[in-house]
Amino acid sequence: MRPAWLEINLSAIADNVSNLKTVLGPQREIIAVVKADGYGHGVLPVSQVALNAGARMLAVAMVEEALELTQAGLQAEVLILSATPRQAAATIVEYGFHAPLTDMAGAQALSQAAQEQHRPANVHIKVDTGMHRLGVAAEEIADYCATIKSLPGLAIRGIFTHFASSSSDPQFTLAQLGSFKKVTAQAEAALGYSIPLKHCANSGAIVRYPESWLDAVRPGALIYGIPRNPGGVYMPTMRQAVTLRANISCVKPIEAGAGVGYGLTWTASQDTQIALLPVGYADGYDRLLSNNADALLRGQRVPVVGAVSMDCTIIDVGAIAGAGVDEEVVLVGQQGDENITVAEIADRCDTVIQEVVSRFSPRLPRVYTHDPGDVRVKELELVDSGQQ
Ligand SMILES: Cc1ncc(COP(=O)(O)O)c(C=O)c1O
């Protein structure tokens, strides 16, 4: 195996889901967001563990991701979050996926596919309450529902919206929530029945606004244990599941005044030792981390020096006597008492935590672990993942 890999602790994911379930209480469902290959963690193992730990449904971004789950043999309700192309309507109905209703043409295509196949099209009405991304405008929902009511074959399983800034703007988030509640009542009045699953909360809203939990919540970050600066009152106990590890591929002395890496962006201020790690930006270890991150060696922080290149990153190990080839270094995650969180990496790259993990490339092998004796995960036969 390549001497650089992502270790995913599935016990952490199981705990994160079941701790969240405890916080939410028995009457609220969890829709585990596993799009983008389970936020880079590996969609199949993550999905299985999340379902076993109490998630009711899985959510992905696109039809292809939903098919991957079904074709691997996973038995679960799968919600597609992004707009689905009209040509995908037949596939959505055939496999029983839950699709978002975002416009009239999409509703008509799903209704037609449902009639052709003599089976219902599972749909969730997507409402735009102010993010101005996807969904039917809040003010148009009553008319929209009055029209789709007459389309045969649509089984309206849910209604949902998405928050624009649940972690940073309470006023706007609560206004969106207020609008969603109002619109949901209008939709139900127009349809003449109650919609079973009303959902809007992502991780940021889950930890801050219990009033947003409604019938179900849609956590992504929370189930991987990566939220930044949580600040929420309803924070379940949570552990980061991912660790990026690499073995040192070479160590060399370097003299004071010598430059390192592309562009020689770092110059040794004293004689020291540098070590090469076989991980680069093509693995998802961002170039913005050049001269701007630490790694962990023997439980101590050592600096990344010079530019991160496509396949390689350099660290200054002068402070660690006798650091040698094959020694294990942690670039993201815990080693000893030190911890480099995904949130720290996101801060250093001025981005969101979701981007850091979802950009870990397939080139990095995923190695699945669990806590010693954790039978929930140990006895799980990972579906078709090829790894454990
Ligand atoms: C519609 C929708 N719901 C829920 C989530 C989960 O968000 P988070 O990772 O912040 O929990 C996402 C993520 O992008 C999303 O697009």
pLDDT in tens, the chain (388 residues): 899 999 999 999 999 999 999 999 999 999 999 999 999 999 999 999 999 999 999 999 999 999 999 999 999 999 999 999 999 999 999 999 999 999 999 999 999 999 999 999 999 999 999 999 999 999 999 999 999 999 999 999 999 999 999 999 999 999 999 999 999 999 999 999 999 999 999 999 999 999 999 999 999 999 999 987 656 777 778 899 999 999 999 999 999 999 999 999 999 999 999 999 999 999 999 999 999 999 999 999 999 999 999 999 999 999 999 999 999 999 999 999 999 999 999 999 999 999 999 999 999 999 999 999 888 886 666 554 444 3
Report whether 278 contacts 48 (CB < 8 A).
no
Residues 6+ apart with CB under 8 A from 318: 270, 271, 272, 273, 274
| Catalytic-residue membership of 198 | no
Q: Is 81 in the pocket of ligand 1 (CB under 6 A)?
A: yes
Contacts by 143-152, CB closer than 8 A, 24 or more apart: 143/190, 144/104, 145/186, 145/187, 145/190, 145/191, 146/190, 147/104, 148/101, 148/104, 148/107, 148/111, 149/190, 149/191, 149/192, 151/107, 151/108, 151/111, 152/111, 152/114, 152/115
Any ligand 1 atom below 6 A from CB of 35:
no
What is the whole-number distance in angstroms between the Cα of residue 320 and the centre of ligand 1?
Answer: 41
The predicted model scores a pTM of: 0.96
Asked whether the beta carbons of 93 and 113 are under 8 A apart, the reply is yes
Is the Cβ atom of 166 under 6 angstroms away from ligand 1?
no
**Is the CB of residue 124 below 6 angstroms from any atom belonging to ligand 1?**
no
Q: Which atom of ligand 1 is nearest to the CA of 222?
A: 11
- Cα(18) to ligand 1 centroid in Å equals 19
262 is known as an active-site residue: yes
Pairing relationship of beta strands 328-335 and 338-340 according to DSSP bridges: antiparallel
Domains and CATH numbers, the chain: 10-224 (3.20.20.10), 242-351 (2.40.37.10)
CA-166 nearest atom, ligand 1? 10
pLDDT for residue 382: 57
Q: How far apart are CA 276 and CA 299, in angstroms?
A: 18
What's the pLDDT at 381? 61
- Using CA atoms, how far apart are residues 212 and 137, in angstroms rounded to an integer? 19
- Is the distance from the beta carbon of residue 19 to the nearest atom of ligand 1 less than 6 Å? no
Kindly give, in sequence order, each residue whose CB lies less than 8 Å from that of residue 38, ignoring residues fewer than 6 positions away: 44, 45, 46, 47, 224
Backbone phi and psi for residue 15, each to the nearest 5 degrees, phi listed first: -65, -40
Q: Residue 109, exposed/middle/buried by CB under 10 A (0-12, 13-18, 19+)? A: buried
What's the CA-to-centroid distance between 217 and ligand 1, angstroms? 10
Residue 385's pLDDT is 44
